[in-house]
Amino acid sequence: MDKFIIEGGRRLFGSVRAQSAKNSVLPLLAACILTEERVTVRETPPITDVACMAQILRELGAEVVFRDGNAVVDSANAGDHRISSSLTKELRSSVFMLGSLLSRFHRAVIAYPGGCDIGLRPIDLHLNALKRLGVSICERDGYIYCECEKLTGAEIVLDFPSVGATENILLAAVEAEGRTVLEGAAKEPEIVDLQNFLNAMGANVAGAGSDVIVIEGVKKLHGAEYLPVKDRIEAGTFLIACALCGGEIEVSGVKSESLGLLLHKLRENGCKIHTKNDKIRIASYGRLKCNRRIETMPFPGFPTDLQAQMTALNSVCEGGALIVENLFETRFKYVPELQKMGADIEVKGRNAFVRGVKGLHGASVTAGDLRGGAALVLAALGAEGTSEVYDLSHIDRGYSDMQGKLKNLGAEIKRVRV
């Protein structure tokens, strides 16, 4: 196990370029099984979630090679339709394989997916949608058994704009017979990216980014080479780090529209924000003011994946803030660790009441999930004294070389083996 040792109190200066988006690359890799031809996903970040998805593809019989930062996938010899429980329990995004496997093999067996422990994430929306496409589903002994004679286009309405369900429906319907109309679709930029990737492979998908997506089934997909969008959550994490520590940095690769509400909240804190093309510049000096209220919502609302980082920021701002988590019921599990550093936060159900303190102090804390772990790193960067952040395996799931990028911005951080 590794840990970060962080000497807080350094302002951040410089520039950083966002990696390819974790939440885009994973469904793109899942989509590679749809064709027997070679697919190249460029600039795949070296994070453990990507490695886990690659291993899932290998267990299905595909060949996956990482070359010059790109993932090259050849699924010509893929033939298995069962994903082992050891991998699905490590990676929530393994659920995307349901749609891909059903499209390619008309059968799929998958254990209930895992990932970060941030609360219940039922996949009923996924399964009900697949049933609409003609899939028979049986759940027993912790596994989901799916099969169909063929996939047939249908009209599907989601009760909630689930990102995962939307992506699974796209993957299942892309080679279904006829037209599928999905209403109530998620609108995240990663959905648009999946649509563009599938269309590059010969699919006929339109409407991503709106709440209605239309998929005209095609008979066969072909290989492609594709560059995913950059990671707006990683970019947002670095912007919040600068807000918390003070200084001026520029984050490139991400369009400001994908982080619209975050940028609004940072301006509300008192940060100066300037955007141009795919560059976002932030300047933070002096003590900031708390956001009165942050409420997580599906895109274009405030992203749940940046909630913990903004809670860490508000913990040292002037005033008080109410943080409302609408998507995951146990996403405040990181709060006791922030309290070890002197944060004044009270959690009641899905609400966190933050009273800003003048400063945090160093402490030994443990990351319990991906975004909560990132929040602890940010808090440590801004705290007085030395902090140790343990269990970096969670952080490694979504951030590549976090310490290296922060060091380049002037942070005093090193990674050591425990």
72-93 pLDDT tens trace: 999 999 988 888 777 777 776 6
Name the one residue in this structure whose structure tokens are 């807080």. 8
Over residues 155-178, the mean pLDDT reads 96
Same domain, 67 and 113: yes
Q: CA-to-CA distance for 116 and 313, rounded, in angstroms?
A: 22
Q: What angle do CA 352, 369, 46 make, to 5 degrees?
A: 135
- Give residue 121's pLDDT: 47
**Predicted confidence (pLDDT) per residue in 206-223, tens digit:** 999 999 999 999 999 999
The partner residues of 225 in beta bridges, in order of sequence, read 40
Average pLDDT over residues 373-391: 98
Arithmetic mean of pLDDT, 167-182: 97
Q: What's the chain's Rg over C-alpha atoms?
A: 21
Burial 315-353 (b: 16+ CB within 10 A, else e): bbbeeebebebebbeebbbbbebbbbbbbebebeebebe
Residue linked to tokens 């992506």: 167
Cβ atoms of 391 and 1 closer than 8 Å? yes
Two structure tokens written together for 177: 């017979």
Residue 366 pLDDT more than 90?
Answer: yes
Q: Is the dihedral of CA 29, 34, 36, 40 positive or negative?
A: negative
Query: Do β-strands 38-41 and 224-226 pair in parallel, antiparallel, or remain unpaired?
Result: parallel
Q: Residue 407: which residues within 8 A CB-CB, separation 6 or more?
A: 413
- Of the candidates 263, 405, 327, the residue with the CA atom closest to the CA atom of residue 120: 327
Structure tokens at 237: 């994490």
- pLDDT, one tens digit per residue, over 110-124 is 887 654 443 444 688
- Residue 338: pLDDT above 80? yes
Same domain, 270 and 405: yes
pLDDT at residue 280, rounded to an integer: 98
Predicted pLDDT at 116: 41
Cα distance between residue 273 and residue 282, in whole Å: 5
Is the pLDDT at 135 greater than 60? The verdict is: yes
Among 116, 57, 123, 60, residue whose Cα is nearest residue 90: 116
CA distance 256 to 150: 42
Q: Which of 172, 197, 226 is the last residue of a domain?
A: 226
Domain match, 143 and 253 both: no
Residues 207 and 323 grouped into a single domain: no
Number of residues assigned to the chain: 418
Do 339 and 374 lie in one domain? The reply is: yes
Catalytic residue among 116, 146, 271, 317: 116
Whole-angstrom Cα distance, residue 179 to residue 133?
10
| CA dist., res. 216 & res. 197, Å (int) | 15
C-alpha–C-alpha distance, residues 344 and 220, integer Å:
56
Where is 110: in which H helix or E strand? strand 107-111
Q: At what angle do helices 307-314 and 370-382 cross, to 10 degrees?
A: 20
Q: Are residues 73 and 208 in the same domain?
A: yes
Residue 155: exposure state from Cβ atoms within 10 A (0-12, 13-18, ≥19):
exposed
Domain check: are 130 and 48 in the same one?
yes
Q: Are residues 62 and 202 in the same domain?
A: yes
Is 116 a known active-site residue? yes
**Per-residue pLDDT at 119:** 41
Among 41-50, 84-93, 317-326, 371-380, which is the least confidently predicted range?
Answer: 84-93
Query: What does the pLDDT look like over 265-321, one tens digit per residue?
Result: 999 999 999 999 999 999 999 999 999 999 999 999 999 999 999 999 999 999 999
Token pair for residue 279?
A: 């560059």
Give me the CATH number covering residue 212: 3.65.10.10
Considering only CA atoms, which of 22, 33, 16, 100 is closest in space to residue 281? 16
Both 36 and 62 in one domain: the answer is yes
Examine the domain organization and report whether 265 and 369 are in the same domain: yes
Task: Report pLDDT for 371.
Answer: 96
**How many independent structural domains does the chain possess?**
2
In the predicted model, is pLDDT for residue 171 greater than 90? yes
Structure tokens at 62: 């595909």
Q: Are 57 and 33 in contact (CB under 8 A)?
A: yes
Q: Using an 8 Å Cβ cutoff, are 202 and 34 in contact?
A: no
Written as one string, the DSSP assignment of 389-418 is EE-THHHHTT-SSHHHHHHHTT-EEEEEE-
Among 165, 200, 226, the domain boundary falls at 226
What is the residue range of 148's domain? 22-226
Within this chain, do residues 350 and 304 fall inside the same structural domain, yes or no? yes
Cβ neighbour number for residue 29 with a 10 Å cutoff: 27
DSSP assignment of 166-226, as one string?
A: HHHHHHHHTTSBSEEEEES----HHHHHHHHHHHHTT-EEE-BTBSEEEEE--S----EEE
CA 382 to chain centre: 24
Mean pLDDT for the chain overall: 94
Give residue-wise pLDDT tens across range 186-206: 999 999 999 999 999 999 999
End residue of a domain, out of 199, 226, 253: 226
Q: What percent of the chain has pLDDT over 90?
A: 88
Asked if residue 374 and residue 270 are part of one domain, the reply reads yes
The tens digit of pLDDT for each residue in 351-365 reads: 999 999 999 999 999
